[in-house]
A and B are shown apart, each in its own frame.
Chain A
């Protein structure tokens, strides 16, 4: 069985401030972790992923996430957010033949 918990449903943050979106997972098989972003009325797009190797993974637009096995976490961070980062973010875990998603965190960047 696998599950994902995103504790924060909404996170407001001022522009240029840092942000952390939290994600905790449970899985009984090898862990593959993903962050996806969704803009209004659109599908999801992959932001970054952890499959193996370095526990710190980065995206092309400044986000990073760190896989922490002992804390079963995969938190998403950005040191300075932009208005265009306003969206909903989903953490996901890949397991046997399917991917399980969290309930999502809405990031609201305030100008």
Chain B
């Protein structure tokens, strides 16, 4: 079945450590996105990529990094520079386009807890 797979579902890390969240899709979508979800704040865009080897900062990119070496994969690294990394992280993909008029498909999310 086609879809987006995020792993792991739950992740615990010590403060000061970098951690990488995995996101893989087999929908043949060009565009991929990372969102952060916190209670009462909705989804905030961290990074997005419209094509391989290219990505753009979203609204809250500080303390995060991404790569897009393959069309299917868009891993997110939460660095030690991110002041408050504990959150629910969602990866999504969609058909690319200048105007986003197609639905986004979401993974099941990764809940990151930093202690």
Binding site for B on A (CB under 8 A): 6, 9, 29-30, 32, 34, 36, 41-46, 49, 51, 90, 94-104
Contacts and interface: CB of A to CB of B under 8 A. Distances in A.
B99 A95 contact: yes
B42 A101 contact: yes
B5 to A, nearest CB: 11
A30 B21 CA distance: 33
A100 to B, nearest CB: 7
B48 interface: yes
Contacts of A51: 101
Given A43-B90, A43-B107, A98-B58, A30 B99 contact: yes
A41 B108 CA distance: 7
A60 B9 CA distance: 29
Contact of A98 (B42, B48, B101, B103): B48
B99 A101 contact: no
A32 B108 contact: no
A49 B97 CA distance: 17
Contacts of A101: 35, 42-43
Contact of B50 (A29, A97, A100, A103): A97
30 contacts: A6-B42, A9-B40, A30-B99, A32-B99, A32-B100, A34-B103, A41-B108, A42-B108, A43-B4, A43-B6, A43-B107, A44-B43, A44-B90, A44-B104, A46-B103, A49-B103, A95-B99, A96-B98, A96-B99, A97-B31, A97-B97, A97-B98, A98-B45, A98-B48, A98-B58, A99-B33, A99-B94, A99-B104, A101-B42, A101-B43
A42 to B, nearest CB: 6
A88 B86 CA distance: 20
A45 B42 contact: no
A36 B111 CA distance: 20
Given A32-B101, A98-B33, A99-B104, A41 B50 contact: no
A109 to B, nearest CB: 20
B64 interface: no
Interface string B99-115: 11111101111010000
